[in-house]
Structure 1
Amino acid sequence: MEKTLDELGQHALQLLKNAPTNQRVLIAVSGIPGSGKTTLGTAVYDKINEIWSQNSSTQISAFLPMDGFHLTRETLASLPNAEEAIAKRGAPFTFDADGLTKLIQRLREPVTKHTVPIYAPSFDHAIKDPIENDVVILPTDRILIIEGNYLHLQDEPWNKIASLMDELWFVQVERDVARNRLIRRHLEAGIAGNEIEAAERAEKNDLVNGDYILSHSLPSHINIVNIHDDRMA
């Protein structure tokens, strides 16, 4: 896996080298739930900064997960289809796609001496809701690794987000591997009380969303085959 991370890090830095000097490089890492995209995205972000640090004291890359754009539980409860929205939290319609689009548009703006830090929300799994302005993107952060399930979708408004990216990277994984990871994740997070409940949620929610991702995503620039490593979740 280290060889893959090094190749991806070097590739991202080459994209920056070829880009206009006032532009950021935006890379969208996607995959089905349980594919390992979060672990891979953070590892690539770390690798880019590790390579860059050989010649600089500042980091060049930042990591931005899409999870901060979950609609809050309060917002879901106020929707006309509240029961469905709460049950299917994690589906595309339970995210603030417009808010994410506006953030990506800001990241696409030229970087100048007047550019200020940009703040984005994170997601707190303990309270199961986003935390506003918890992720800081500095003007010196020139390569953004943006991670999330739906960043490659061809559906509106998600396709607008995809069109703003420099590259789309997709993490491939076998369905059974993803299923086992999801079951473990739901048990560890307390989302399910036992393995039967966890498996049901994985099959009826997460993997349904995963099937939709596989059938409705745009072509990727790079496909990464996830190794069978239980740390990748």
Structure 2
Amino acid sequence: MSALAPPSVPRDVEHLCDLIGRLRAASAPGQRTIVGVVGEPGAGKSTLVEELVEALGTDAAPAPMDGFHLSNKVLDDLGLRVRKGAPETFDAHGFVQLLERLRDQREDVVYAPEFLREHDESIAGRIAITRDTPVVLVEGNYLLLEQPPWLEVRRHLDAVWYLDLDHDERLRRLAERHRSFGRAEEHAWERARTHDQVNAELVRRTRVRADLVVRADGGHGLVPSPG
């Protein structure tokens, strides 16, 4: 893969069709296409995947990395609760095994876990992905990390799209998310600017490994990246 910055495309209502077209063009009869959507915390990855899955209907299913959050009990036992969201707070090996099963397409149905923000916990077997689902969209922060076991993720993905968002808008969204789940405004901003930002900088360094950058403007759509 080239060390140069990956190409960029815009996304709004019109350009969402471009991304859908890319997914359809990459699909072949009887073969599954697995595309990763990566980006810093708060960039809007889940929203983009939801839009794509809604547009593709039964031809697509999500497989979110966040479903592999370690439980709060386990994080407490390990002394990692304060680091929740960092790479070491996920079952990365389990995530890789899920991708292997999705790639093999040997099972009639693969059940993936889903993280429910309102409960701050993952629920096992919440997403059913049938063998004949042609497109799977894998969403998460750490799809392009080069440290083990995360480095095994990339080989199971046909392409990876990096969703980029203006720094200030991304922090605002993160703080709003934290407030919506009960944090006081001061603590919400502190979390966004400290712990979340450490994770964001780690993810940002993987941007060059993406196949495509989709740049968000934080307003009514997406604009081309200057890169």
Same fold (TM over 0.5): yes
Please tell me whether residue 203 in structure 1 is matched to residue 193 in structure 2: yes
- Contact 2:13–2:221, Cα closer than 8 Å, also in 1: no
Cα distance in 1, alignment partners of residues 179 and 105 from structure 2: 44
Cα distance in 2, alignment partners of residues 39 and 223 from structure 1: 16
- The match for 2:68 is 69
Cα distance in 1, alignment partners of residues 19 and 207 from structure 2: 21
Please tell me whether residue 23 in structure 1 is matched to residue 13 in structure 2: no
- The match for 2:93 is 98
Alignment of 1:144-155 (within 5 A): 144-155=136-147
CA RMSD of aligned residues (A): 1.8
Higher relative contact order, chain-length normalized (CA < 8 Å, sep 6+)? 2
Could you report, residue by residue, the CA deviation over 1:149-200 in whole angstroms, capped at 9, with x for unpaired residues? 111212211111112100000001111111000111100011x1x2111110
SS in 2 for 1:26: strand
Of residues 13, 30, 33 in structure 1, which corresponds to 2:24? Answer: 13
SS in 2 for 1:202: helix
Distance 1:152 1:218, change over 3 A: farther
- Contact 1:68–1:121, Cα closer than 8 Å, also in 2: yes
Residue 217 of structure 1: how far off its partner (Å): 5.0
- The match for 2:13 is 2
Number of residue pairs matched by the alignment:
211
- Contact 2:72–2:121, Cα closer than 8 Å, also in 1: yes
Partner amino acid for 1:73? N
Alignment of 1:45-56 (within 5 A): 45-49=53-57
Partner amino acid for 1:206? D
- Contact 1:152–1:218, Cα closer than 8 Å, also in 2: no
- The match for 2:8 is none
TM-score under structure 1 length normalisation: 0.85
Alignment of 1:157-172 (within 5 A): 157-172=149-164
Please tell me whether residue 174 in structure 1 is matched to residue 166 in structure 2: yes
Please tell me whether residue 86 in structure 1 is matched to residue 86 in structure 2: no
Long gaps (5+) in structure 2: 1-11, 223-227
- Contact 2:30–2:134, Cα closer than 8 Å, also in 1: no
- Contact 1:5–1:47, Cα closer than 8 Å, also in 2: no
TM-score under structure 2 length normalisation: 0.88
Cα distance in 1, alignment partners of residues 30 and 221 from structure 2: 36
Sequence identity percentage: 30
SS in 1 for 2:192: helix
Residue 207 of structure 1: how far off its partner (Å): 1.3
Residue 71 of structure 1: how far off its partner (Å): 0.2
Name which of structure 1's ranges 87-96 and 124-133 shifts more when overlaid on structure 2.
124-133
SS in 1 for 2:38: strand
Distance 1:165 1:33, change over 3 A: same
Cα distance in 2, alignment partners of residues 127 and 183 from structure 1: 18
SS in 2 for 1:107: helix
Name which of structure 1's ranges 115-124 and 169-178 shifts more when overlaid on structure 2.
115-124
Long gaps (5+) in structure 1: 50-58
